Amino acid sequence: MLGIIGGSGLYDLPGMELVDRVLPDTPFGFPSDEIVVGRVEGKEIAFLSRHGRGTD
């Protein structure tokens, strides 16, 4: 699985087929947004929008 963290202006991955959304509680607290798990061209991807969806 490949993990991608999006920066300012990158809130989703074009062509990504959604499989699941997870919001894990970590020792450091919750992430900025849900981690989107899906597939792009058959490859499993986990994507996190660094600033949260739709915010700068």
**Residue 28: domain span:** 2-49
Q: How far is CA 26 from the centre of its chain?
A: 16
Residues β-bridged to residue 4: 47
DSSP 14-51: TTPEEEEEE---BTTB--SSPEEEEEETTEEEEEEETT
Q: Are strands 2-6 and 43-49 parallel, antiparallel or unpaired?
A: parallel
pTM for this entry: 0.77
First to last CA, the chain: 27
Q: Look up residue 34 and give its two tokens.
A: 């849900």
pLDDT in tens, the chain (56 residues): 999 998 777 877 888 998 999 999 999 999 988 999 999 999 999 999 887 775 54
